[in-house]
């Protein structure tokens, strides 16, 4: 069986370091591993509209921001198909059929949807489209017969639901669809990178993000302002690592070779941590190390972004080409789906002749 990746992001803002360690970095590794036959990365504009119906301009503006972020981290359009969700109407059609295979109470139990309903104050009146987005996400995945979906852990309930829909569909209509596997980020810090304020997650509304498109100066300023250990008042005080942002970021970003290069007094991150816990290591020193490490990673990304920014029409062309490729793949699956669901009336010669027989006097 072919190994196929499908993943994507809602274009509601520029992408940040949470996206980077949670998914983007991994996507580039997977892309370059040569292990996958096809890779699709989708800009989920239709899903973004499910809770931004009255703000279409925001989505429109962020399509290009997300595309630039993708290209600048190293997603290569020669290896990965980047496309726009709304321009593949087969996905909408498939969603309409899947809705018959899912109950309202099943979606109501989805913990990610539950949290989002609270966050958006939708408790009293949930837009139908928003409530249905997990079903639509199942279409996104299965239309491409994806075997592997690299996403953050908050997306796990969507993959679970997708697998249920696939099982149900294949059981009722015959084996057409492929059950996907989730691929979670490797380490705990990457699973849920906190915002610079130490709050649960980076989020634009909390203003605690470091963006991939931030300048070196902005990154340094944000790191210097990071939440650390409120009890670590003097350098000589023993420090605590739990919830300490610079250390969590070091967990997510540092590699052994960084220490030789930027902090040769320490053989490893563990030694640095030990020193901090013992006392005698200042937050400023840790932050300076983090800034160096982040810069090493972000600088090439920033440079590539600037190049693409010089040729925006070419970026739209990449999206257009990718969307054509994606549409063809989804259309092929939809042909199979319609046939399995017995709604392919016009290309079923056997149906027509059997009806002829039926009505013969
Ligand atoms: N829900 C994802 C997010 O919020 C975006 C998305 C839409 C997606 N469809 C998908 C992710 C299919 C993986 C697979 O970022």
Would the CB of 7 count as within 6 Å of ligand 1?
Answer: yes
Q: What does DSSP assign to residue 195? A: P
Q: Which residue, among 173, 12, 169, 95, has the nearest Cα to 330 in the 3D structure? A: 95
pLDDT under 70: residue ranges of the chain: none
Contact 170, 176 (CB under 8 A): yes
What pLDDT was estimated at residue 23? 87
Instruction: Report, in this order, helix, strand and coil percent for the chain, each rounded to 5.
Output: 60, 5, 35
Nearest CA to ligand 1 atom 14: 7
Task: State the Cα–Cα distance between residues 277 and 238, nearest whole angstrom.
Answer: 5
What pLDDT was estimated at residue 190? 77
Question: Which ligand 1 atom minimizes the distance to the CA of 159?
Answer: 14
Would the CB of 220 count as within 6 Å of ligand 1?
Answer: no
Q: What's the 231 CA to ligand 1 centre distance in angstroms?
A: 39
What pLDDT was estimated at residue 25? 92
What pLDDT was estimated at residue 180? 98
Task: State the Cα–Cα distance between residues 322 and 86, nearest whole angstrom.
Answer: 13
Q: What's the 158 CA to ligand 1 centre distance in angstroms?
A: 9
Task: State the Cα–Cα distance between residues 295 and 211, nearest whole angstrom.
Answer: 12
Query: CB-hemisphere CA count at 13 Å for 344?
Result: 14
Would the CB of 25 count as within 6 Å of ligand 1?
Answer: no
Q: What angle do CA 188, 195, 224 make, to 5 degrees?
A: 110
Q: Which of 22, 44, 146, 192 is the best mutation target for the ligand 1 pocket, counting ligand atoms within 8 Å of the beta carbon and taking the most?
A: 44
Q: Which of 4, 5, 7 is the best mutation target for the ligand 1 pocket, counting ligand atoms within 8 Å of the beta carbon and taking the most?
A: 7
Q: How many beta carbons lie within 10 A of that of residue 184, not counting itself?
A: 17
Q: Which of 5, 9, 112 is the best mutation target for the ligand 1 pocket, counting ligand atoms within 8 Å of the beta carbon and taking the most?
A: 9
């Amino acid at each position: 069986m072919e190994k196929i990746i499908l993943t994507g992001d809602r274009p509601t803002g520029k992408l940040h370091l949470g996206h980077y360690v949670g998914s983007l970095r991994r996507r580039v590794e997977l892309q370059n591993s040569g292990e996958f036959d096809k890779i699709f990365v989708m800009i989920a504009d239709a899903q973004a509209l499910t809770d931004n119906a009255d703000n279409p301009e925001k989505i429109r503006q962020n399509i290009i921001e997300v595309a630039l972020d993708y290209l600048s981290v190293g997603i290569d359009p020669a290896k990965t198909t980047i496309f726009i969700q709304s321009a593949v109407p087969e996905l909408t059609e498939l969603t309409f059929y899947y809705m018959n295979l899912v109950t309202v109470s099943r979606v109501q139990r989805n913990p990610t949807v539950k949290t989002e309903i609270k966050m958006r104050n939708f408790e009293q009146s949930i837009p139908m489209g928003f409530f249905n987005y997990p079903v639509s996400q199942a279409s996104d995945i299965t239309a491409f017969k994806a075997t592997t979906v690299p996403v953050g852990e908050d997306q796990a309930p969507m993959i679970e639901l997708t697998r249920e829909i696939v099982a149900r569909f294949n059981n009722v209509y015959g084996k057409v669809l492929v059950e996907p596997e989730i691929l979670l980020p490797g380490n705990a810090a990457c699973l849920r990178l906190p915002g610079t304020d130490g709050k649960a997650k980076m989020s634009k509304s909390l203003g605690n993000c470091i963006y991939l498109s931030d300048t070196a100066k902005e990154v340094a300023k944000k790191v210097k302002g990071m939440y650390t250990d409120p009890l670590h008042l003097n350098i000589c005080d023993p420090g605590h690592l739990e919830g300490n942002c610079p250390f969590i970021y070091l967990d997510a970003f540092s590699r052994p070779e960084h220490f030789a290069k930027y902090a040769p007094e320490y053989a490893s991150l563990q030694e640095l941590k030990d020193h901090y816990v013992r006392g005698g290591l200042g937050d400023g020193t840790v932050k300076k190390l983090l800034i160096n490490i982040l810069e090493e990673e972000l600088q090439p990304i920033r440079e590539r972004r600037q190049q693409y920014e010089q040729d925006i029409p070419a970026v739209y062309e990449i999206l257009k080409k990718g969307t054509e490729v994606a549409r063809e793949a989804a259309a092929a699956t939809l042909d199979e789906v319609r046939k399995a669901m017995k709604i392919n009336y016009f290309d079923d010669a056997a149906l027509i002749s059997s009806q002829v027989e039926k009505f013969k006097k």
